[in-house]
């Protein structure tokens, strides 16, 4: 892809796979093209690795944090399950929303919860909202343990943010999707690997081997789920696409 930005003429030219387009620099199309490139440059510079929530690092783009906050506030789930804990910042984020809404609790699964992370999460003022489970998210015993913590008729949101290989995410989708309640989502995060494949810090097979590919296959095979970006509750712009590291991530349970 070749992009030419001309701030004097206020135009942007994008050439991609033989297709040439020119937009006004101050347009929706220019914003989307620049944002797409900004995501790639920012990811290479580890921009999503620069934030924390109430004292704990979370490895997310602020835009994705805003969007999941909107969904959690709308759904007010009884249980939020996340695979991939790392430093615990995302669990603390969900727990803070549960506390503010006076509803919900959080289950976090990680193959390795490092001692200092566990200690920091357990010492946090929101720890009472969080259950930590150590083990592989696709291990049948771990899946059964998570399921045993969900009571019948509880509403459930699931966020997958552990091993991002297509195979692992496909196995997580199969294991955790039965817990997702109608109208809620299972979110296969970090499908951006698909378009990050050509940045210097990317892995070799990312174009094919990524969560978005797993999510699309899952949706094609499971008509009760559809890939659907949640509607924005507030929007006074002409924009309508998430600026996100979670493309094709939001699998909504429709039936």
Ligand X SMILES: C[S@@+](CC[C@H](N)C(=O)[O-])C[C@H]1O[C@@H](n2cnc3c(N)ncnc32)[C@H](O)[C@@H]1O
The region of 70-78, 108-116, 201-209, 228-236 touching ligand X under the rule CB under 6 A is 108-116
**Cα–Cα distance measured from residue 203 to residue 36, given in angstroms and rounded to the nearest whole number:** 19
DSSP state of 230: P
Of 12, 97, 98, 109, which one interacts with ligand X (CB under 6 A)?
109
User: Which of 77, 84 has the CB closer to ligand X?
Assistant: 84
Does 90 participate in binding ligand X (rule CB under 6 A)? Answer: yes
233 CB-contact burial (10 Å; exposed 0-12 / middle 13-18 / buried 19+): exposed
Going residue by residue from 51 to 70, which x/- string records binding to ligand X, judged by CB under 6 A? -------xxx----------
Strands 11-16 and 19-24: antiparallel
Q: How far is the CB of 146 from ligand X (least distance, A)?
A: 11
Task: Report yes or no: 51 and 60 within 8 Å, Cβ to Cβ.
Answer: yes
Rounded to a whole number of angstroms, the minimum distance from the CB of residue 252 to ligand X is 21
Phi-psi region of 135 (alpha: psi -120 to 50; beta: other; left: phi over 0): left
Q: Which of residues 129-188 bind ligand X (CB under 6 A)?
A: 136-137, 161-163
The whole-angstrom separation of Cα 43 and Cα 15 is 22
Q: Which residues contribute to the site for ligand X (CB under 6 A)?
A: 58-60, 82-87, 89-90, 109-112, 136-137, 161-163
């Amino acid at each position: 892809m070749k992009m030419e930005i001309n701030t004097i003429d206020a135009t942007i030219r994008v050439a991609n796979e033989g297709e040439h387009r020119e937009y006004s620099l101050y347009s929706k199309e220019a914003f989307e093209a620049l944002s797409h490139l900004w995501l790639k440059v920012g990811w290479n510079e580890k921009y999503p690795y620069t934030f924390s929530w109430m004292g704990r690092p979370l490895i997310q783009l602020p835009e994705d944090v805003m969007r999941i906050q909107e969904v959690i506030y709308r759904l007010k789930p009884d249980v939020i399950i996340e695979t991939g804990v790392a430093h615990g910042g995302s669990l603390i984020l969900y727990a803070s929303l549960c506390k503010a809404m006076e509803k919900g609790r959080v289950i976090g699964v990680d193959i390795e919860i490092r001692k200092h992370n566990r200690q920091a999460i357990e010492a946090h003022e929101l720890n009472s909202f969080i259950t930590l489970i150590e083990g592989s998210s696709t291990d049948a015993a771990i899946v059964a343990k998570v399921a045993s913590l969900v009571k019948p008729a509880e509403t459930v949101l699931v966020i997958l943010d552990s091993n991002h290989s297509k195979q692992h995410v496909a196995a997580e989708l199969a294991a955790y999707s039965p817990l997702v309640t109608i109208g809620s989502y299972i979110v296969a995060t970090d499908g951006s690997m698909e378009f990050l494949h050509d940045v210097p810090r990317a892995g070799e097979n990312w174009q094919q081997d990524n969560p978005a590919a797993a999510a699309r296959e899952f949706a094609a095979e499971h008509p009760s789920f559809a890939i659907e970006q949640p509607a924005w509750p507030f929007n006074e712009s002409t924009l309508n696409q998430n600026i996100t590291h979670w493309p094709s991530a939001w699998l909504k349970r429709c039936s």
